[in-house]
Structure 1
Amino acid sequence: MANIAIPIIDLSPFFNENDENGKKKVKDIISQACSEYGFFQIVNHGVPLDLLSQAMDLSKTYFKFSDEEKLKCSPESGAPLPAGYNKQPEISPDKNEYLLMFPPDSGFNLLPNNPPEFKEVLEEMFSYFCKVGQLIESIVNDCLGLPENFLKEYNHDRSWDFMVAMHYFPAIETENNGITEHEDGNCITFVVQDEAGGLEVRKNGQWIPIIPEEGKIVVNMSDVIQVLTNNKFKSATHRVVRPKGRSRHSFVFFYNLQGDKWVEPLPQFTKEIGEPARYRGFLYKDYQALRMRNKTHPPSRPEDVIHITHYAISTS
C-alpha cells in the first residue's frame, strides 16, 4: 500500500494564462487518474484557505448545538432534496447528521443564524466551489478531447448544485462505517474533511485512506461523467470510515446536472471510434429518484441497491 498514492495536483497554472506547459502536465495527471479510478486532490484551487478553516470551525460549533437549536433549520418543502438540517435515520440515527444547502438565490435554503456568521460563510463557500467545479469541468473537457466548452454548454444550469456540511458521530465498537462503499450519481464531487479523516478510495482493489491536509480539496468523478465517456473516465468508488472516540466533520459539494437532461454515452466514445455503447440513455432525474429510493426504502438485499449498472448494456 505504501506505493499507492492519490495524486495531489497544483492548479496554479490555470490562474496564469501563460503557463501552457504547466496546464498540460496537470491535464496529463488528471487524465491518468480519471482513467484508472476517478480520484485526485487539488491545491492552489482558488478557494481561500482561511475561508475553508473558518467554515469548518463554524460547522463544528453548529453541530454541538442542541437538537432544538439545529431543528430551527429543519427541511424546507419543495426543494429537490430536503434542504436544511437533517439526520439520517434511514441509515442509522447514531451515524451522522448534516446541513444541506442549494445555491443562495434558489429560495430553498433555511440556513442557521447561529453561529451568527455561519450563513454568510456557507454562501461564500458555495460560490467558490461552484467556480472550482467549472474549472475542473473545463479541464476534464480538454482531457477528453471534446469540443471547446462542450461540457459547459451541456451542463450550464448551476441551480442544481448543492453542498452538505456533514457531522459523523464517533464509531462504536461493533462497526465503524460512516457511509458504505459507493459511487456518486452526479457529475463531479468535491470534499474537504477535517483532521479526523476517514475518507477512503478504492484503487487496484485496495482501500487507500485520504490523509487530510490543510488546503487540499478531494475531487472525484461521478456517474454522469462515466456514462458520457462510455467508461473512459471512471466514477470513483469510495467510502467513509468513522474513527473511534472522535467525531468527523466534512463539507461535500456536488457539482450536479439539471434533472431533465438526457444522459447517454457520447458519440465521441462510441460510434465515432467503433465502440459499442455500454449504457442505455436515461433522464438524470429518473436515476436520482432511484438512488433516493435506495435511502428511503433500503432494499433487503445489498445486490438490489440501484447503481449506474442499472442502465448498463450487457456485452455478452
Structure 2
Amino acid sequence: MNGEDVPPFHETYKFLFEKEGPTKCIKAAMVVEEEQLPVIDLGKLWNGEGEECKEEIARASREWGFFQVINHGISKEILEKMTREQVKVFKQPFEKKKGKESRSYLNFSAGAYRWGTPTATSLCDLSWSEAFHIPMLDISDSPTLDTALSLTMEEFATRVADLAQKIAEILAEKLGCKSNFFQENCLPSTCYLRMNRYLPCPMSLQVFGLMPHTDTDFLTILHQDQVGGLQLVKDGKWIAVKPNPDGLIVNIGDLFQAWSNDVYKSVEHRVVANPFVERFSTAYFFCPSFETVVHSDSGEASVYRKFSFGEYKKQVEVDVKELGHKVGLPRFLV
C-alpha cells in the first residue's frame, strides 16, 4: 500500500526485514477458531432482568475478560459519524499527521500521533498500524473545539464514559463493593481516547497490526468496523473475535484485575495484520488519575501490593524501554 497518507514502514524498519528475512513468520494467522464473545443485552438492566444482566457481565469478566454489549445506549448514528471523521483524519498526508500542522489542525498535544513501534528490535515487536492517543482533556479543555472531528469525539466519549462508569459500578457491586471509587477517581478528564488505523500489510504473516498486550486501565470500550482481526487468549489458545455489527467490545484492564484481587481477568490480546483491507477502531480507556492508589478491599489476602496508577504507568514505560515489552502486573505481586 502506497500513498502520501501511509507512514514509511518499509524505510523505517528496513533493518528488521533485512536482519530476519522473509521466511521469519510469527504464526500470527494460526488461530484455532473464530468465536463470538459473550453478548450481553444491556436493555435487561431496565426491563426487570437487571440482576441477570449484572451476573452475565461479572461472569464474562471472570471467565473471558472480554464481552460485547448491545442496546448500550449509543446510537448507530454517533458510531458511524465517529468512524467517518477518523477516516478523514487518517487519510491526511503523513507529514501533516506527524507534524506541528497536525496539532494546530486537530487541537491535540504533542505526541498524540503514533505509528509503528519505535522500540522494536525484532519483527515480533513491530505493530503495523497508526493511532491518535488523545487525553480527554485535549478535547474538553480545547478553546478551539470547532472541528467536526473534535465535536464528534466529544459526543462519542461523553456517552462511552457513562457506559464505562455503569459497567464498573456493576462489577464493583458483584464483588460486594458499594463504594464510590470509580465516580471519585475515574473522571472524564483522566481518561483517554485512541483512534486506530490498521493498514494493509504485504508481510501480514511476519508482523502484527498490534502486538500482543494487556490494557493498563480499568476498562476499555472498543468500537470497531467489521473487518475483524482482533484476537485474544482463551483457555490457553488464541481465538479470533467475530465482529458484531450491533455491539461494543468491553475488556478488563490490569487495574481492574488488581483491584478485584484477580477475580476479573485482564487478558492478552492482539490485532493481526490484513494483507488487503485496512481496519479502523476507536477505543475509550477508563483510567483514574495518576495519584489514585489501586488495591483490593475484598477482605482476602491481597495478591498485589498497593500501587498508584502513576507508579504502574512509569514501571511499564521503563520495562518497554529496557526490555522491549511490558511486564505489567507481575511486577506488583506481594
Query: TM-score interval w.r.t. the shorter chain?
Result: 0.7 to 0.9
Equivalent in the alignment of 1:132: 163
Residues 84 and 180 from structure 1, CA distance in 2 versus in 1: closer, same or farther, beyond 3 angstroms? closer
Question: 1:298 Cα deviation (Å)?
Answer: 5.0
Equivalent in the alignment of 1:73: 102
Q: Does residue 1:280 correspond to 2:305, yes or no?
A: yes
CA contact (8 A) 1:189 1:254 kept: yes
State how far apart, in whole Å, the 2-side matches of 1:35 and 1:200 are: 18
Residues 153 and 163 from structure 1, CA distance in 2 versus in 1: closer, same or farther, beyond 3 angstroms? closer
CA contact (8 A) 1:226 1:234 kept: yes
Cα deviation digits, residues 288-308 of structure 1 (max 9, x gap): 11223344x2515x6xx4211
TM-score w.r.t. structure 1 length?
0.83
Q: Does residue 1:102 correspond to 2:135, yes or no?
A: yes
* 1:204-243 to 2 correspondences below 5 Å: 204-243=235-274
SS in 2 for 1:227: helix
RMSD over aligned CA atoms reads 2.8
Question: 1:154 Cα deviation (Å)?
Answer: 4.9
Question: 1:44 Cα deviation (Å)?
Answer: 0.8
Residues 45 and 88 from structure 1, CA distance in 2 versus in 1: closer, same or farther, beyond 3 angstroms? same
State how far apart, in whole Å, the 2-side matches of 1:102 and 1:66 are: 23
Count of aligned pairs: 293
* 1:1-316 to 2 correspondences below 5 Å: 5-14=36-45, 16=46, 19-20=47-48, 22-70=49-97, 71=99, 72-74=101-103, 84-90=112-118, 95-103=128-136, 117-147=148-178, 149-173=179-203, 174-266=205-297, 268-270=298-300, 276-295=301-320, 297=321, 299=323, 305-313=326-334
Unpaired runs of 5+ in structure 2? 1-31, 121-125
Question: 1:111 Cα deviation (Å)?
Answer: 8.9
CA contact (8 A) 1:197 1:210 kept: yes
State how far apart, in whole Å, the 1-side matches of 2:76 and 2:34 are: 29
Question: 1:134 Cα deviation (Å)?
Answer: 1.0
TM-score w.r.t. structure 2 length?
0.79
SS in 2 for 1:291: helix
Equivalent in the alignment of 1:273: none
Residues 168 and 5 from structure 1, CA distance in 2 versus in 1: closer, same or farther, beyond 3 angstroms? closer
Q: Which of structures 1 and 2 has the larger relative contact order (alpha carbons within 8 angstroms, sep 6+)?
A: 2
Aligned AA (1:100): H
Unpaired runs of 5+ in structure 1? 271-275
